[in-house]
């Protein structure tokens, strides 16, 4: 693993557990993907942890359990990251929005 991504938890103002770092295997060199033609100016923000989970599940064909073990998180958290990432990517493609990869 090459780095860590600190997930920000939003608990509607309530105090929760501090965020747990998620190790990422590669540093992404791109920060933004722009569609041509651009239909909507408002971008979609994709977290690097979501991208890492999608890479493990979709490209490396790991199970949720295996990806969770590699990332040191539960399989449910992997599932939530993948679902969130898929929704954002599909929304960006369908609506013609730019994608910004958030590294922190």
Where along the chain do its domains lie? 3-102
Q: What is the pLDDT of residue 93?
A: 93
Stretch 65-80: mean pLDDT, rounded? 94
Stretch 3-14: mean pLDDT, rounded? 54
Report the candidate in 98, 83, 102, 87 with the shortest Cα–Cα distance to residue 41: 98
Confidence of residue 37 (pLDDT cuts 50, 70, 90): confident
Stretch 78-98: mean pLDDT, rounded? 95
Average pLDDT, the chain: 85
Residue 43 burial (CB < 10 Å; 0-12/13-18/19+)?
middle
Stretch 34-45: mean pLDDT, rounded? 90
How many whole angstroms separate alpha carbon 7 and alpha carbon 22?
A: 7
């Amino acid at each position: 693993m090459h780095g860590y991504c600190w997930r920000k938890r939003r608990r509607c103002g309530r105090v929760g557990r501090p965020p747990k770092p998620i190790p990422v295997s590669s540093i992404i060199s791109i920060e933004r993907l722009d569609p041509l033609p651009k239909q909507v100016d408002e971008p979609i923000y994709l977290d690097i942890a979501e991208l890492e989970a999608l890479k493990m599940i979709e490209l490396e064909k790991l199970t949720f359990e295996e990806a969770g073990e590699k990332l040191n998180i539960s399989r449910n958290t992997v599932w939530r990251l993948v679902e969130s990432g898929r929704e954002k990517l599909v929304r960006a493609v369908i609506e013609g929005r730019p994608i910004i990869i958030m590294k922190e």
